[in-house]
Amino acid sequence: MTDFPYDSGASSGPSAFSSPWFHRLMAKRGFQKWAARFPLTRGIVRREGEAMFDLLAGFCHSQILSALVQLEIPQILMNGPQDAQALAARTAVPPDRMQILLRAGVALRVLKARRGGRFGLTRTGAALVGVPGLSQMIAHHDVLYRDLSDPVAFFRGEVQTELADFWPYVFGGAMDAGVAATYSDLMAQSQLLVADDTLATVDFSGIGTLMDIGGGSGAFLAAVGAAYADLSLMLFDLPEVAPSATSRFAAAGMSARARIIGGSFREEALPKGADAISLVRVLYDHSDGTVTDLLAKCFAALPSGGRLIISEPMTGGAQPTKAGDAYFALYTLAMRTGRTRSAYEIAALCHAAGFEDVKTPKARRAFVTSCVEARKP
């Protein structure tokens, strides 16, 4: 399934600026040198050159961020600025190398240089510490980076990616208890941000019972339950994962209105009793065939008028985006089981399953999550 034809130009008609002739002109070194000097074009040349260099240096930038996070430098600096010598001593990094890392952090606007050779946090650096799950995801990226170490082999499908082994739940079947705990913790941390944006995008009022499929340790349901005090909650996930939600619901005072059910949506029908079902970061983990079956099961489990709420990162569809098409699409490709879809594609899958009144509300922050809503007639 694909979206409607993509055209990156401002108009649908042919343009001289997208012609082979223009591309050949732009590629000529003599034209580039002239454009860099000409007053009306030199600013454009500079900006496009800087953008090209950012693409070139992007891997170094991400590795700098990863080093800062793994060494816990942002967390250390939450207590106040420190110099390179002090940070080197705390992290077992040679002082000269620490100085380079800190200056790189300043260049990326995560850190700021202070008087006396000390370094502190910028607003971005402080947010890095406070955004739920972000530091854990950055630290976990070493697996993805290894999968992408030979990008040509990766896109040819010749790499046996490690990322698929990090998330074995997507293949179905039993999961080791330790792996399940690691999975649940990382999902729960990052789920909080997704829950905030989903609640800002979707109105859950009027729902009596919400069942969250693949709900993990209950982070999403707990957030919705806190916002809607009269809402009954059902969580459905693998038997190795679902029980981890018990303590979360108890701590939130929601045990009396929360029901936890262990099972696999691959192998069995979904339980009934909910008038709304949520799928939060579930579909993009699975193939079109699995998603088609899951949506059919959601349709069967819901009563007439029941609602389906889907929340996950999506591609940009007709207009590719950095988050959806240049990050999450690669991440799911490395998973080897699913793919990132556009809201248009997900809406079409919902229609095919029998749902009507399918809506794709504007995302609050598309790099966090986007939503699709549908209703059973």
Q: What pLDDT was estimated at residue 2? A: 47
Q: What pLDDT was estimated at residue 172? A: 53
pLDDT in tens, the chain (377 residues): 445 443 344 444 455 566 887 777 777 788 777 877 878 878 887 888 788 888 888 999 999 999 999 999 999 999 999 999 999 999 999 999 999 999 999 999 999 999 999 999 999 999 999 887 788 788 888 889 999 999 999 999 999 998 877 765 555 545 455 555 555 566 666 788 899 999 999 999 999 999 999 988 899 999 999 999 999 999 999 888 778 889 999 999 999 999 999 999 999 999 999 999 999 999 999 999 999 999 999 999 999 999 999 999 999 999 999 999 999 999 999 988 899 999 999 999 999 999 999 999 999 999 999 999 999 99
**Domains delineated in the chain:** 25-130 (1.10.10.10), 146-375 (3.40.50.150)
**Between 134-147 and 177-201, two packed helices, what is the crossing angle to 10 degrees?**
120
Q: What is the 3-state secondary structure (H, E, C) of the chain?
A: CCCCCCCCCCCCCCCHHHCHHHHHHHHCHHHHHHHHHCCCCHHHHHHHHHHHHHHHHHHHHHHHHHHHHHCCHHHHHCCCCEEHHHHHHHHCCCHHHHHHHHHHHHHCCCEEECHHHEEEECHHHHHHHHCCCHHHHHHHHHHHHHHCCCHHHHHHCCCCCCHHHHCHHHHCCCCCHHHHHHHHHHHHHHHHHHHHHHHHHCCCCCCCEEEEECCCCCHHHHHHHHHCCCCEEEEEECCCCHHHHHHHHHHCCCHHHEEEEECCCCCCCCCCCCCEEEEECCHHHCCHHHHHHHHHHHHHHCCCCCEEEEEECCECCCCCCHHHHHHHHHHHHHHCCCCCCEHHHHHHHHHHCCCEEEECCCCCECCCEEEEEEECC
Do 215 and 249 meet the contact criterion of CB atoms below 8 Å apart?
A: no
Q: β-strand 111-113 against 356-359: which pairing, if any?
A: unpaired
Q: What pLDDT was estimated at residue 302? A: 98
**pTM of the predicted model over 0.75:** yes
219: tokens are 């982070």
Tally of CA atoms within 13 A in the half-sphere of 253 that contains its CB: 3
Q: What pLDDT was estimated at residue 301? A: 98
Q: What pLDDT was estimated at residue 138? A: 86
